[in-house]
Amino acid sequence: MANLASNFVGIKSPNPFWLASAPPTDKEYNVRRAYEAGWGGVVWKTLGEDGPPVVNVNGPRYGAIWGADRRLLGLNNIELITDRPLEVNLREIKAVKRDYPDRALVVSLMVPCQEEAWKAILPLVEETGADGIELNFGCPHGMAERGMGSAVGQVPEYIEMVTRWCKANTRMPVIVKLTPNITNILYPAEAAKRGGADAVSLINTINSITGVNLDNFAPEPTIDGKGTHGGYCGPAVKPIALNMVAEIARNSETADLPISGIGGVTTWRDAAEFLSLGAQNVQVCTAAMTYGFKIVQEMIAGLENWMDEKGHTSVASIVGRAVPNVTDWQYLNLNYITKAHIDQDACIKCGRCYAACEDTSHQAIAMSDGRVFEVKEEECVACNLCVDVCPVEGCITMVQLEAGAIDRRTGKTVDPEYTNWTTHPNNPMAKVAAE
């Protein structure tokens, strides 16, 4: 049987599924319910300094993007960090950790970018018995306008500085939560490492407006006729998160930096993909807010079954397995050639492949009497668009041409000799690159 036990920078949990710092982790009641449902860990919703209270809006806090079947694809939220008193949060954290010693409990923190503010809050959190802290350098709304959150996360020098302060003033592991609202995720990741971070977590939410109310012309969610940008999360951000996790995992300067993967994790498969790209555990928010805490039971069962099927005995055996296969474009094999193939028995004759290819691609699909669709190999460039638009899974597949076969589009023999664009004879810079 697969063992899902996780050890993330010394923080142990029975499985790699943690709840991210967000509304579901704002109070003791929620966290206890989460642990009882099976979550391996929780990152408590971000705490601020002991001072003037944070005041949240009393109107709508979420905007949404839905698929055609009303499935929630993305949430935009304008909620701030916890608006509950610091003393209450600390008391509840201590009680929960006492009663669930085998579960991970990390506390998210966000205070002004001043050393004294961090030195003041760290011992208070440490006294609760929490397993670690997560520095919230990612929140893109509300707090960023106050010089915190992503306002810090977008400046590598600030990340390094605050991380150093925290490492110098606490025994707890320090996890730095990174913002995706930046051009190159490696800059903040490298800064966190220079500052001594034990790990990074990413991604935080993406700055966004999910829609506009066309009756009053205000962004959604609308508060008394006005709206603002918020943080976007959910299944729609997963591709962005996977790429950023992979970039850190395959960068020589940060390859040994432990990663907690966040961004659209909804199923066990999503989690396995994050793990394979270098994350050592995953954090979840939108899926729990959509389906409730018990969604983790499906994630656990699914990951266990897949690991058993594939012969993986531990989570560690999955971590990073896909990283060597992530490369830059110029190293892709230009002599790997495929052609689309349509399974006539599975085809429902909807014509989506034909319309997409005829109008927007390479006119490589022919339609004959009886709405029979067939691929014209001599025109097919293997772009895969027909596979992606086909509503029947497995109906259209890409079939590889073996070395020595004739590519009917070019009339040339498939040659395995040239394996990447840098050395390919069609590249006008190949000679320059070689020299």
Cite the active site residues.
139
Distance of CA 192 to CAs 64, 106, 197, Å? 32, 18, 5
Using alpha carbons, select from 227, 202, 233 the residue that is nearest to residue 212: 227
CA–CA gap between residue 138 and residue 144 (Å, rounded): 9
CA–CA gap between residue 281 and residue 271 (Å, rounded): 8
Polymer length in residues for the chain: 435
Beta bridge mates, 208: 230
Beta bridge mates, 205: none
Q: Compute the radius of gyration of the chain from its Cα atoms.
A: 25
**Dihedral (C-alpha) 389, 393, 395, 401: value to the nearest 10 degrees?**
80
Contact of 420 with 327, CB cutoff 8 Å: no
Please classify residue 380 by burial: count the beta carbons closer than 10 Å to its beta carbon, then call 0-12 exposed, 13-18 middle and 19+ buried.
buried
Contact of 355 with 313, CB cutoff 8 Å: no
